[in-house]
Amino acid sequence: MVMPLHDPRRAELEAGGWRVTARSFGAQLDSARVDRERLRRFVAGVVGSLRELTEGDLHDVLTLDAATAGDYPGGVATRHEPLDAARATPSASRRAFGAFLPTGELVAMTFVDVEGVRAETDFTVVRRDQRGRGLGVAVKAGSVLELTSDGVERFRTGGSADNEAVLRANDAVGYLRDEEWVTLEPGTA
């Protein structure tokens, strides 16, 4: 069962033996608060290149998604469904951004669903051997810069509150956490 952190039902459930098995969050960034220079520095720090993904990147997207499918912490509230060709193909309403090594390998990506002036990050992932190099921050920063230029005014993101890397990346980009959730499961007898 997923509920807001301070839901009054939580205490009753926990008293009845339920336990918190995962924590998640939501965060927002409004375009008026975007520090474009800071985000440009994150993008410029990529060793290789960062660009918007296209249909021509489908094979690379599916390969990276398959390689990282088991890397998403959390529970049912933050589960990542493996991509199929349709969900992996960028479009006007489903934009994607990727970081590439100088050798051309896609090593980080973020997918963002856009509706009018609002955008919601579906997921961001970095290949295991490339983590800790600022690539998650860079692809999120690149997406915000590009989408702000295209008129997006409000950005939403979220994920596992136990994923320190995504929390740091969102903080660096400028997102402010405004929702906290818990996943509870019944205790074992």
- The predicted structure's pLDDT at residue 149: 97
What is the layout of strands, in order, in the sheet containing 106-115?
2-4, 176-185, 19-30, 154-160, 118-126, 106-115, 94-100, 49-52
Helix (H) / strand (E) containing 135: helix 135-149
Q: In angstroms, rounded to a whole number, what is the distance separating the alpha carbons of residues 184 and 189?
A: 15
- The predicted structure's pLDDT at residue 79: 80
Residue type, 130: Q
Per-residue pLDDT tens for 110-144?
A: 999 999 999 999 999 999 999 999 999 999 999 99
Q: Can you identify the CATH homologous superfamily of domain 2-185?
A: Gcn5-related N-acetyltransferase (GNAT) (3.40.630.30)
Residue 148's pLDDT band (boundaries 50, 70, 90)?
very high
Residue 187's pLDDT band (boundaries 50, 70, 90)?
confident
Residue 181's pLDDT band (boundaries 50, 70, 90)?
very high
Residue 58's pLDDT band (boundaries 50, 70, 90)?
very high
Per-residue pLDDT tens for 79-88?
A: 888 999 999 9
pTM here is: 0.91
Q: In angstroms, rounded to a whole number, what is the distance separating the alpha carbons of residues 147 and 141?
A: 10
- What is the domain partition of the chain in residue ranges? 2-185
Which of 62, 117, 116 lies closest to 90, judged by CA? 62
Per-residue pLDDT tens for 66-99?
A: 999 988 877 777 788 899 999 999 999 999 999 9
